[in-house]
Chains A and B, each alone.
Chain A
């Protein structure tokens, strides 16, 4: 392809994809928990996205970029762990104990103390996959359930149950820290 067309394609890509740079970087930071690995992953994600931009027909740009980033991060996990699995669905993880048992024992008027962003980020970082990923896509990247389903390649029902679990786990961790602080 002549350079001029490459340039124009790159320009269209710039306009379509670069506005989401912060979103993609945010997800990478939560998934990889390392600033410099996140930067490398985001750059790789944009390179791959540009390469496949010609065949891109949807979904919306943001979930599409997230899906690519997710694959890049999986490769990074595999590199770190020397094993070919990453944002794996732990067998049965979605059907663990019912969600409400853990809150049943707690008082109905439970109040969480407000925490600063740094402390909350740490709590989120500690969530297990695939719950963390779903949580970040919803709560921080503001994707709809359907977009999350597209980005992670799971049915919407799975997204819903993961999200419910992620929030329950986060709240439990949040409360546990407060108990400790007492």
Chain B
């Protein structure tokens, strides 16, 4: 282990985040490296002083009442068992299904469903500040080469600005434990992530829209690639995006 590695990992050691094997490795380095040992001691000392000081803030009572007041009030009378169950069942789709006794079927997600859920999570992650794009450009000739060397197969990057979908940039993401390219578009305030992965199958799969957590995901396959377009755009506009994209792809290939 190098000192550089130890200087990061000793924090995980302090925080009890290392598994036994890594903890032993860091401890072995510390035992043989006075500089890193001093660093660990200094960090431990600072952590102790931080723990001694009360650095938390208490929410003012007025804030608590403001929030309380903004919540819908519960019923006055004791709820009946039936209404409790009903309230529970309405809490989430999963508990509603649990109530009907088919939860096992629902929880065992098939591959497509699992990947859809990962795609939607990746879309959600990308919407956090600073996570949308690794390369920012409205120029397809900048975005496309950026992917080269980062992925086995660079995703097709097509400028659809004239068709009403602005190219924003690209990003590397992870779906199904694999690196995958995401090409990012915008229509008005809506972000569209187009995830592209390689597939062994070259057959054409018709676009199909599914909805998850309020996002539309349109998925299709063509020319040995799988595509997922995810957005909070309406299903019709997302379908329009996919049509425009496919038409432009076709024109590129034939032209």
Contact = CB atoms under 8 A, between A and B. Distances in A.
Interface in B1-20: 3-4, 7-9, 11-12, 15, 17
B49 A140 contact: no
B57 A112 contact: no
A87 B60 CA distance: 26
B72 to A, nearest CB: 4
B206 interface: no
**Size class of the A contact interface (CB-based, 8 Å):** 35 or more
B35 interface: yes
Given A39-B60, A163-B11, A7 B72 contact: yes
Nearest to B9: A160
The A contact surface, by secondary structure, is: helix
Interface string B203-223: 000000000011000000000
B8 A164 contact: yes
Contacts of A71: 128-129
A152 B129 CA distance: 10
A5 B79 CA distance: 10
Interface of B: 3-4, 7-9, 11-12, 15, 17, 34-36, 38-39, 42-43, 45-47, 49-50, 52-60, 62-64, 66-68, 70-75, 79, 83-84, 86-87, 90-92, 94, 125, 128-131, 213-214
Interface of A: 1, 3-14, 18, 21-26, 29, 38-39, 42-43, 46-47, 50, 54-57, 67, 70-71, 74, 85-89, 98-100, 103-104, 108-112, 114-117, 120-121, 124, 138-140, 144-145, 152-153, 160-161, 163-164, 167, 170-171, 174
